[in-house]
Structure 1
Amino acid sequence: MTLSVRIKHDLGRFALDVAFEAPPGLTVLYGRSGSGKTTVINAVAGLLTPDEGRIDVDGQTLLDRARGVNLPPHRRGLGYVFQEGRLFPHLSVRQNLKYGRWFRKTGRSSFDQVVDMLGIGALLERRPGALSGGEKQRVAIGRALLSDPAIILADEPLAALDEDRKAEILPYFERLRDEVSVPILYVSHSAAEVARLATTVVALQDGRVAGQGPAAEVLGDPMLTPLGARAAGAVLAATVAAHHEDGLSELDAGGVPLFLPRVPHAIGQPIRIRIAAQEVVLSRKRPEGLSALNILPGTIEQIRPGAGPGAIVSLATPAGRVLARVTQRSARAMGLEPGVTCHAIVKTVAIAPEDVGGMELSRQSR
Structure 2
Amino acid sequence: MSSELDLDFCLESKGKIPLNAKLRVRAGELVALLGPSGSGKTTLLRCLAGLYTDVIGHIHSGNTQWLSSQHKIQLRPEQRSLGMVFQSYALFPHLNALQNVMIPLQKHSKAVAKQNALDWLARVHLAGLEQRKPHELSGGQRQRVALARALVAKPQLLLLDEPFSAVDQATRHKLRRELALLRSQIEAPTILVTHDLEEALQLADRICVLHHGQLLQVATPDELMNHPTNPTVARLLGMHNLFKGIVKNITDQEIILDWCGLYLRIPKQKRYSVGQTLEWMATPQSLILHRPDRPSNGDKENPVEGRIEEMVLLGPHVSISVRPLHAPELPLRFYIPRHFVERQKLYTSMVVSLSLLGDQLHLFEKP
Task: Give the shorter-chain TM-score range.
Answer: 0.5 to 0.7
Aligned to 1:19: 22
Q: What residue number does 2:122 align with?
A: 116
CA distance in 2, matches of 1:137, 1:227: 32
* Aligned residues of 2:89 and 2:142 also touching (Cα < 8 A): yes
User: Following superposition of structure 1 onto structure 2, how do residues 246-261 of structure 1 map, counting pairs within 5 Å?
Assistant: none
Question: In 2 relative to 1, CA 137–17 (structure 1 residues): closer, same or farther, beyond 3 Å?
Answer: same
Pairwise CA distance, 1:162:
1.8
Deviations 1:240-280 (A, max 9, x none): xxxxxxxxxxxxxxxxxxxxxxxxxxxxxxxxxxxxx9976
Q: 1:338 corresponds to which residue?
A: 358
- Equivalent position to 2:136, from 130, 137, 158: 130
TM-score by length of 2: 0.63
> Does 1:46 pair with 2:61?
no
Identity %: 27
Pair 1:30–1:84, CA change in 2 (3 A): same
Please give the per-residue CA displacement for 1:130-170, whole angstroms capped at 9, x wherever unaligned. Answer: 11111100000001111221111111111222212212311
CA displacement, residues 156-207 of structure 1 (integer Å, 9 cap, x when unaligned):
1112222122123112221232321111111011011001000121111111
Residues in 1 aligned to 2:186 and 2:237: alpha-carbon distance in whole angstroms: 33
Which residue identity is paired with 2:287? L
In the TM superposition, what is the alpha-carbon distance from 1:11 to its structure 2 partner?
A: 4.9
Shift in CA distance, 93/289, structure 1 to aligned 2, threshold 3 Å: farther
- Answer yes or no: is 1:8 the counterpart of 2:12: yes
Identify the residue that residue 205 of structure 1 maps to in structure 2: 211
Partner residue of 1:175 out of 181, 189, 192: 181
Deviation at 1:17, TM superposition (A): 0.8
After superposition, what is the alpha-carbon deviation per residue over 1:66-87, rounded to whole angstroms, capped at 9, x for unaligned? 2100000001011010111111
Does residue 238 of structure 2 align to residue 231 of structure 1?
yes
8 Å contact kept, 2:33–2:207: yes
For 1:20 and 1:30, how far apart are their aligned partners in 2?
14
User: 5+ residue gaps in structure 2?
Assistant: 241-281, 295-300, 303-328, 335-352, 362-367
Which residue type is aligned with residue 19 of structure 2? Answer: L
C-alpha separation between the residues in 1 aligned to 2:86 and 2:38? 18
The letter of the residue matching 1:82 is F
1:159 pairs, out of 154, 165, 168, with 165
Q: How does 1:1-366 map to 2 (within 5 A)?
A: 1-12=5-16, 15-23=18-26, 24-103=28-107, 110-223=116-229, 226=233, 228=235, 231-232=238-239, 282-283=287-288, 309=330, 334=354, 336=356, 338-339=358-359
In 2, distance between residues paired with 1:289 and 1:133?
Answer: 51
Deviation at 1:102, TM superposition (A): 2.0
Deviations 1:69-112 (A, max 9, x none): 000000101101011111111111111111122256679x9334
Structure 1 residue ranges without an equivalent (≥5):
234-276, 291-298, 301-307, 314-332, 342-366
Shift of 1:340: 7.6
1:9-60 Cα distance to aligned partner (Å, 9 max, x none) = 0453x63111011112211111111111111110000001133110011121
Count matched residues. 263
Which structure has the larger Rg?
Answer: 2
Q: Give the conservation status (yes or no) of the 8 Å contact 1:152–1:185.
A: yes
Kept in 2, the 8 Å contact 1:22–1:200? The answer is no
Indicate conservation of the 8 Å contact 2:287/2:356, yes or no. no
Q: CA deviation at 1:222?
A: 3.7
| Shift in CA distance, 65/282, structure 1 to aligned 2, threshold 3 Å | same
What is the letter of the counterpart of residue 238 of structure 2? A
Kept after mapping to 2: 8 A contact 1:189/1:227: no
Change (3 A) 1:120 1:113: same
CA RMSD of superposed structures (Å): 3.4
Deviates more, 1:186-195 or 1:218-227: 218-227
Q: Is the 8 A contact 1:35 1:204 kept in 2?
A: yes
**How many angstroms does 1:125 deviate by?**
0.9
Distance 2:116 2:208 in 1: 32
